[in-house]
């Protein structure tokens, strides 16, 4: 019986790398949820993590992981109502940014 070390390296299956994707979500500041995931009474941090978590669960079926998902926001001044804001999440990597698809959603306050 052959052991794994007897199999030539080029015939071992390659590890699957995640396909890179960029998610862009547009919403209004007063629609961003607060789920109580940040417990130190930081409303900004709670709204931020709550929204990033929702996006990750919708797109990839997992919770937001800072070391895995790269993110950025624009207009995230949650103290003001009815202002446009944007969340951008990246997953995976690519040698060419032009090859990364951008998937856009709108958060309505209840669903993407």
pLDDT in tens, 74-106: 999 999 999 999 999 999 888 888 889 999 999
pTM of the model: 0.81
Instruction: Please report the pLDDT score of residue 108 as a whole number.
Output: 95
- 77 vs 40 pLDDT, higher one: 77
Output the pLDDT for position 63: 94
Strand order in the sheet with 84-91: 70-74, 84-91, 21-28, 102-106
Q: Are 47 and 62 contacting, i.e. CB atoms less than 8 angstroms apart? A: no
Q: What is the pLDDT of residue 56?
A: 95
């Amino acid at each position: 019986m052959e052991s794994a070390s007897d199999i030539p390296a080029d015939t071992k299956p390659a590890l699957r790398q995640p396909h890179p994707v960029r998610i862009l979500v547009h919403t209004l500041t007063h629609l961003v949820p607060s789920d109580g995931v940040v417990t130190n009474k930081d409303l900004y941090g709670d709204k931020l993590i709550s929204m990033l978590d929702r996006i990750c669960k919708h797109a990839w079926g997992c919770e937001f992981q800072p070391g895995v998902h790269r993110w950025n926001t624009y207009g995230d001044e949650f103290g003001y109502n009815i202002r446009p804001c944007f969340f951008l999440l990246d997953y995976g990597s690519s040698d060419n940014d032009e090859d990364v698809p951008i998937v856009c959603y709108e958060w309505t306050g209840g669903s993407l």
